[in-house]
Structure 1
């Protein structure tokens, strides 16, 4: 561990420290890059003394993350006053195939966030958060949609998670085989994993000739 990494680790509580630094780091800029490139966040919290992990849509605004769900869901309803929470976004880049099953791995980029999640009560902030979440998935889509109804606002809950601590884990490269296995006639290498959005198809009731909105190709470019 470098001097900088030791200094960064010293400023963090034990739950936010990286135990193995070979693939880990505290680079906030890299973490934000990963968060901005992901589509699904797995959110962890404790409910009735049980750990819960829920996949959710999200968006980042500055040093805060917004997640949303139905106002009656556990993660929203029971955490209005604030709760310690963790959120993870992982981008899978490839399957690493080694000559030994023991050395098989994956290439990935992962951001881990720790903070306190609390309910967004201000209506303007809620709208701003929902717009950000929508546009994170489909850039520009919020302005293409009709306005939310009062019923929809009431049914939707938004949590803000202030990013108090963040870390990353990244693996790149090929397999790390045992020296004795190198050059043997067993295939080894990397199988790339790519994420891309396919061609859109219309809902059954869309009038013929209705153009695909600009947010769709924008999203395909973003997640290419």
Structure 2
């Protein structure tokens, strides 16, 4: 297993820890329902454990997605194009690793190709692969940049994430209008302030 795979895909449970069965997962949900003060045998809650486990399969599918494979196919016939390739307003739907509360926002990602590019949908899929896990926003932002940097060896990568954390908006300090912004820059983006500023200006353009 190469260093990049080890760094970006092995966030799941250790190999020597057996994954619980679906039945065990559903029973855990029943336990939480009882702990919250309700009766999992109540009509409206009977199917809830199954629904929650099914939702977890969707919310955390990123543990089973490999950014190396996502970015594996590249195209070198770009007619000499060497400016940034950028995707803006990529939807981010994640969950914080401290409270398993939703993190909802958007990401902007850019890279400066060195001979090769990838299909633009692959960049969005890399964002999804890391967001569909238990995360901190800081870690997710760095992971996205590292995956693109390691898989493609571009001249630079820039990542901007703007998100609201429901562990902060619906509990704790209850500040529903606070947004968290994180950035990561590598290569020419890190070295060139004008290039970073151009990237940030493009990130700030309204969604069309």
Please indicate, yes or no, whether the TM-score normalized by the shorter chain is above 0.5.
no
- Return the structure number with greater helix share: 2
TM-score (norm: length of structure 1): 0.23
> Which structure has the bigger radius of gyration?
1
Comparing both chains, which one has the higher relative contact order based on Cα–Cα distances under 8 Å and sequence gaps of 6 or more? Answer: 1
TM-score (norm: length of structure 2): 0.25
